[in-house]
Amino acid sequence: MYEQEISRRNPGCFLFLLDQSYSMGAPISGSPAPKSSALATMINELLYAIVLECTKDFQELPRHYFDVGVIGYSGTGVRPLLPGTSRRRALVPVHQYAGTGRLVEHSHTLRRPDGTVVEERATAPEWIAPLNSGMTPMCAALGMAHKVLRGWVKQHRSSFPPIVLNITDGEATDGDPRSEAQRITRLTTADGAALLFNLHLSEAKGESIPFPVVPPPGVPQAALLFEMSSALPGTLVQASGYGDRIRPGARGFVFNGGAASLMDFLRIGTSTTSLIGEH
C-alpha cells in the first residue's frame, strides 16, 4: 500500500485546508509574522514548488501529475481559494492553476562571506492571500473535502490515495470534527485509504510536538487532532528524507507548531512529488 507511482495516467492529489479565522492574525511562534501571513507564504511557495516538480520542459505546460485544491475556512464561510475553482470544482490539475498566480516582488537581505549585507529582490507567484476573520468552521471544511475527494477516488481507482493537509490554530467552532475526519479516511483507492494530516499552529514559545506515536498527555485538543490524523506511511517518510527523525507508527500530526514545524509538515505531507515517474 502507498506505493503507486505518480504519473499522468495515475495522478496524485493534494487538498489543503487552511484555517483563516480571527485568531490567525496573531504572530506565529518563531517569527514576527502573523500566522495567516506565514501560512499563505508557505502555501504559495509549496504550490509553486509543485508546479516546478511537474514541469519537465519549460517550453511546455506542467504535466498533469497532480490535482490540487486549497479550501479556506473562516467567519466568511468555507470556500475554495485557487483561481478557477468553485464549490462544484475544488480540485484542478497543476497546469490549470500554474499561470494564474499574481506575481509579487519579495525582498530579503543576504550576508556575503566578506560580511557585507545586500538586499536581493525576486518575483514569485501568489495564489493565496492572508485572511483572518471570525470563527473556525473546521467541520464544514472537512465535509467539503470529503465531498470533493469522494468523486476523485471514484475516478482514480489506481492512484496513490489523496492527501489532505489541515492547518489550524484552534478548535472547531461548528462541532466535533472527528466524524467528518473519519469520512475522509474511509475513502480509498486500490493503493490505500485517503490520508489526513493535521498541524496545530501556535503563537506560544512552548515545545513543539512533531509526529507523535501516542497523543500528547493532558491536552484534549491535541488528543482530538491526533485521533483525526492518519499514520504516516513509510514511503512518505523515506521520500521526505526525514526517516531518521520519525519513529514507526508516527501520526501525520504536529502540535504547538511554529514556522519551522509548518515547513517540515508541508514538506513531509507533499513528499509524493518524489514518486513522479516518467510517464
pLDDT one-digit tens code per residue, 31-83: 788 999 999 999 999 999 999 999 988 889 999 999 999 999 999 899 999 99
Determine the pLDDT at residue 110. Answer: 66
Query: Which SS3 state, helix, strand or coil, does residue 143 take?
Result: helix
pLDDT cut 70: percent of the chain above it: 96
Reported as type and span, the H/E element at residue 162 is: none
Determine the pLDDT at residue 107. Answer: 65
CA 181 to chain centre: 15
Asked if residue 89 has pLDDT above 80, the reply is yes
CA 141 to chain centre: 14
pLDDT one-digit tens code per residue, 141-158: 999 999 999 999 999 999
Asked if residue 165 has pLDDT above 90, the reply is yes
The pTM is what? Answer: 0.92
Geometric angle at alpha carbon 54, from 51 and 55, rounded to 5°: 85
Residue listed under C-alpha cell 516582488: 105
Determine the pLDDT at residue 57. Answer: 87
Determine the pLDDT at residue 74. Answer: 96
Determine the pLDDT at residue 277. Answer: 77
Question: Which of 173-182, 211-220, 264-273 has the highest average model confidence (pLDDT)?
Answer: 173-182
Determine the pLDDT at residue 279. Answer: 58
- What is the CATH class of 12-275? alpha beta
The pLDDT mean for the chain works out to: 91
Query: How would residue 273 be classed by pLDDT, with cut points 50, 70 and 90?
Result: confident
Domain ranges of the chain: 12-275
pLDDT one-digit tens code per residue, 93-145: 999 999 999 988 876 666 677 777 777 777 889 999 999 999 999 999 999 99
Query: How would residue 217 be classed by pLDDT, with cut points 50, 70 and 90?
Result: confident
Which of 148, 104, 149, 110 is closest to 130 using CA atoms?
104
Determine the pLDDT at residue 262. Answer: 85
Asked if residue 206 has pLDDT above 80, the reply is no
Residue 279: Cβ within 10 Å count: 11
> Are the beta carbons of 213 and 239 closer than 8 angstroms?
no
pLDDT cut 90: percent of the chain above it: 66
